[in-house]
Amino acid sequence: MVATLTSAETLTAAPTLSADQLCHLYAADVCRFAALMARNPADAEDLAQDALLRAIRGLRTFDPSRGSVAGWLWRIVANAGRDAATRRQRLADLAVRAGMLTPPESESVEDIALTHVRDTELRLVLAALPLRDRTLLALRYGAGLDTREVGEALGLNPDSTSRAIRRALARLRARLEETSR
């Protein structure tokens, strides 16, 4: 006996996505996201690799009835970014407590005046934003997701996502204006 799908089942059945297909479709966007989230290129590579490995390992458990592949993937990527930031902060806190590092001091007015708005400065200002702002901006502009997809990846409704992105952009603009003075 051969099982066949009815037309309704065909519409709801998820096509099987291989690890190669997943990487081919999303690796470039995941790398752009990671570059915006990470503090340096090495951390960006590690974050992108970790996120894609998590997604590949979870492919067989993906449930299409709970959402799209893209939404599922970006939730994994955002969680990987959040986990990496938490890990980095724990290590920094441990190093300070162990006396291996001194806590960072605030930047002097002279240092601020000597910097100019360039790609490197934008990256620095982005890196100084709160994790949630970096995640929102990286998903929206680095990964090229629309507002609905960003919200889906972060578990927010579209209105909240739109407001959160606007606020993150306002904080980014304010910090860029501060540094250009």
pTM of the full structure: 0.56
Confidence tier at 181 by pLDDT (50, 70, 90): low
Query: What is the model's pLDDT at position 49?
Result: 93
Is residue 122 within 8 Å of 179, Cβ to Cβ? Answer: no
% of the chain beyond a pLDDT of 90? 30
Burial (CB < 10 A; 0-12, 13-18, 19+), residue 98, is exposed
pLDDT digits (tens, 9 = 90+) for 60-118: 888 888 888 888 999 898 899 888 888 887 777 666 665 555 555 555 444 443 444 45
Query: What is the model's pLDDT at position 114?
Result: 42
106 against 163, higher pLDDT: 163
Q: What is the average per-residue pLDDT within 45-67?
A: 91
Query: What is the model's pLDDT at position 106?
Result: 54
Res. 55: pLDDT tops 90: yes
- Please report the DSSP string for 57-113 in residue order: HHGGG--GGG--HHHHHHHHHHHHHHHHHHHHHHHHHHHHHTTSSPPPPPPPHHHHH
Confidence tier at 50 by pLDDT (50, 70, 90): very high
Query: What is the model's pLDDT at position 3?
Result: 37
C-alpha 40, offset from chain centre = 14
Minimum mean pLDDT range among 7-21, 57-71, 166-180:
7-21
